[in-house]
A = this chain, B = another copy of it.
Amino acid sequence: MAVSHEFAEEPATEGSSETLASLQQQLGVKQHFKRAAEIYAEGSQSKHWYQVEAGVVRSVILFADGQRHIANFNFAGDYFGLEFGNRRKFSAEAVTDCVLYRYPRRTIEQLISELPQVARQLWNLSLKDLAQAQSRATVLGRMNATMRVASFLLELSERQGSATLLDLPMSRTDIADYLGLTIETTCRVLTRLAEVRLIGIPDPHHIQIIDTRALGTITVEGFDPVREWLSRSAANPRRRPGTAE
């Protein structure tokens, strides 16, 4: 029931989001998935699409050589599973226990012809996904490890209402596969960001963002405090403030 203000951020839509949201009672089937459960498999028929009511879902693709790539994380309110073509290009898995609404795909045709507003909303959802996918392509194509992690943290922060104490429900491996890094590099960067006091890591699944602005500077300008810190400590091996030893 707590589903209300999904994609109401941009004024681009004329406040008609009620139309789409109101459908979930009529058409949606509520489903529960345990952590790590598969919601649908890569290559299977795309007969449904989904909305996350609670929990987190990841879209995963596996390579022949064993590599894994995560295309997206879907949080409460997000829609997913709308694809072109009849075959899934990614599998969807529950990162945490989660609750989903499931919609039959074939009703889309009716929705579109009967409710132009819904058609517009569905299209807008895809356009937003497109913008996000393009943004990720630039991240993966042009950013170094520190920038990628910083952008991930900021993205997560936005998704959580600009919170500074972030909840990281996914594993380090998930983050690495999302950012095109190895788990080791991901770990190291997080450690370094904590060492330079841009973030705090109270426990592996929570991150306190201390300096949002500096994190933004990293992603935009490529300034790398990790490297900065390394050269500083090399030039001036005096112990940094804060760390025991």
Contact = CB atoms under 8 A, between A and B. Distances in A.
Contacts of A89: 131, 134-135
Q: Which of A86, A124, A133 has the most CB of B within 10 A?
A: A133
A3 B71 contact: no
A203 interface: no
A44 B220 CA distance: 19
A180 B110 CA distance: 41
Nearest to A181: B141
Interface stretch (A20-28, A57-65, A159-167): A57-65
Given A119-B116, A130-B84, A131-B89, A138 B69 contact: yes
A12 B123 contact: no
Contacts of A236: none
Interface string A147-188: 000000000000000000000000000000001100000000
A122 B130 CA distance: 13
A238 interface: no
A61 B137 CA distance: 11
A82 interface: yes
Nearest to A148: B141
Given A63-B142, A71-B134, A84-B127, 15 more contacts: A3-B109, A3-B113, A10-B84, A63-B222, A64-B220, A71-B138, A83-B127, A85-B131, A112-B119, A112-B120, A112-B123, A119-B123, A133-B133, A137-B137, A140-B180
Interface of A: 1-3, 5-7, 9-10, 12, 61, 63-65, 67, 69, 71, 82-86, 89-90, 105-106, 108-110, 112-113, 116, 119-120, 122-124, 126-131, 133-138, 140-142, 179-180, 220-222
26 contacts: A2-B109, A7-B106, A9-B86, A10-B85, A12-B85, A61-B138, A63-B222, A64-B221, A67-B222, A69-B137, A69-B138, A82-B127, A83-B130, A89-B131, A89-B135, A112-B120, A112-B123, A116-B119, A123-B123, A126-B126, A126-B130, A129-B130, A130-B130, A133-B133, A133-B134, A136-B137
